[in-house]
Chain A
Amino acid sequence: MSIIEAGRVTDLLFCIVSFAAISWYLWQSMQGKEMKLRRMEQVDAIEDGVDRAVEENRPVYVEPGCLVFLSGTRAPICINGMNVLRYTARLCVRKGARVILPVPFNPECYPLIDGIFREVAVAEGKPEAYRPEDVRYYGNTESSFSVGASTDIARTSASLVVMVGSTTSSEIYMSGIALSEGATVIYGNTLYALMGAAACMAHYSMFSDDVFGAGAICSGDNEVRSTMVGGDLAKLIILALVVISAVLAAAGLPIVSEGGWLFQ
């Protein structure tokens, strides 16, 4: 009898390879090696949008998606959204734009968002820029969040709306309102379901890995960037595995069939 749970050998190998690749690049960056990620026009657009907001004297909205949870599978997406939120809020405070932070309907991240805003204001030497009333909670249902935030965007005539993280269709409604107000809309989601709608409803959209990449770029931290480089290596290995499996399966070997090599 195998010591490994049946059907989880491939999972284990994938987990070990990913951990090893990410940890290796993280270790290299901690030794001083510079890690580079490609420029993302979506991230550049955040800075341009903040500049425009300052010129127009209109507010910037930024939120990490309305379906935010600090535990479970959504937690990594949420934390990543917080990176983009921190970056945008920092730029706003630095350049003098008003930033408004809609809080997701699950209020467990309210203290986190509030804390990031306060920290950014203090770190930029402008503690007076922290306005607790601009961290806005709209209630504990998704409908109240989407309608409340959309109404605020329309009422205050937003100049830039950044929604990156654990977003849902609620952010698509907000995009529609923001577009009608002439705002620049940046939307990011790691799930496939809303990609089509987001491609239509945002000036700059990020899908899947783009969101993680944007979070790493926004951090401005070499060690954070290095983990994305390690993650890319893991993905290349997965891609190679897919191609090899397809070829071997086409050759008649029991690769992807039930109980095949990949499902041991």
Chain B
Amino acid sequence: MMTEQAISRRMYQRTVPIFLVSILAGIFLVEYFIAYEPLTGLTGELSVWGSIITAGTVLFGNVAVILIKGRQLSGERTSKETFDIVVFLGAVALFVILGLSNPDTISSETFLLLYTPTMSMMSTTLWTNAHLYYVWATIQRLVRVRSLELFVLALATVLLIFYNTPVTVTVVPQFNPIGEWIVTVLNKAVQRATAACLAVGGIVIMVRALAGKEPGLIEMEMA
């Protein structure tokens, strides 16, 4: 049995937001299907507010990260965890100071000089290595054909590698139509089936969320 306080919380945390979202979703749906100029202007304005709210959620997430990391400093932890947290909070503090110390904020030369080379270099290096590993590890497992499905997958992979390699298509031109067929017929069919399932799945989640039946959200405050 819900207490009076819990019912009150449910009202402003769940019922009212869902009611508002339902109205907004209805406006966007009608605008998508009905050719009516004033609605287009309204949804344009609402989209701007949507972007502002989304930016707010990102800010909320970032603040939560900093708070949680800060809180972890006071708890029990290993020296490695302490090091990680200190590096994280130190980097945050450094870039906040850098950003705020110049009128150009994150476009200032000092900020860009420190941020862009370090981040892009680290990111590119990590990404390249990870991608190399991804391709190698996947192919390594693919060649161990364990089932009919994996055999078909391996065959399609080999054919597409030949299709995308200029020298093999030059030597054996038949790889070209085979590859084209896999990409334009089989692949497109799968893409469309996936898109249809994703669309229906999206509507399913939307109906559940609007009906207040979606369990992927936090419920604790209302217990």
Contacts and interface: CB of A to CB of B under 8 A. Distances in A.
B72 to A, nearest CB: 5
A195 B61 CA distance: 30
B200 A18 contact: yes
B119 A141 contact: yes
A34 interface: no
A114 to B, nearest CB: 7
B201 A209 contact: yes
B220 A173 contact: no
Nearest to A176: B137
B62 A190 contact: no
Interface in A1-24: 1-6, 8, 11-12, 14-15, 18-19, 22-23
Contact of A173 (B130, B187, B216): B130
Contacts of A238: 196, 200
A200 B141 contact: yes
B134 A147 contact: no
A4 B34 contact: yes
B148 to A, nearest CB: 12
Contacts of B173: none
A106 B61 contact: yes
Contact of B33 (A12, A110, A144, A200): A12
Interface stretch (A38-46, A55-63, A229-237): A229-237
Nearest to A83: B216
B171 to A, nearest CB: 25
B75 interface: yes
Interface stretch (B11-19, B100-108, B161-169, B205-213): B205-213
Q: Interface extent on A, as a size class?
A: 35 or more
A65 to B, nearest CB: 13
A172 B32 contact: no
A221 B57 contact: no
Nearest to B195: A192
B180 interface: no
A196 B202 CA distance: 23
B96 to A, nearest CB: 14
Given A132-B75, A172-B134, A173-B130, A4 B216 contact: no
Contacts of A6: 35
Nearest to A221: B215
Contacts of A11: 32-33
A185 B76 CA distance: 30
A146 interface: yes
A114 B67 CA distance: 12
B72 A107 contact: no
Given A76-B201, A110-B61, A208-B193, A170 B130 contact: yes
Given A115-B218, A132-B68, A172-B138, 5 more contacts: A4-B34, A80-B205, A110-B68, A173-B133, A208-B201
Interface of A: 1-6, 8, 11-12, 14-15, 18-19, 22-23, 26, 70-71, 73, 75-83, 86, 103, 106-112, 114-116, 118-119, 122-123, 132-133, 135, 137, 141-144, 146-147, 150, 169-170, 172-173, 176, 179, 190-192, 195-197, 199-201, 207-209, 211-212, 215, 219, 221, 223-224, 227-228, 230-231, 234-235, 238
Q: Which 5 A-B pairs have the closest CB atoms?
A: A82-B216, A107-B61, A76-B205, A108-B61, A176-B137
23 contacts: A4-B35, A5-B35, A8-B32, A12-B33, A73-B198, A75-B205, A107-B62, A111-B64, A114-B64, A114-B68, A115-B218, A132-B75, A135-B68, A147-B129, A173-B134, A190-B198, A192-B194, A195-B190, A196-B153, A199-B149, A221-B213, A227-B207, A235-B200
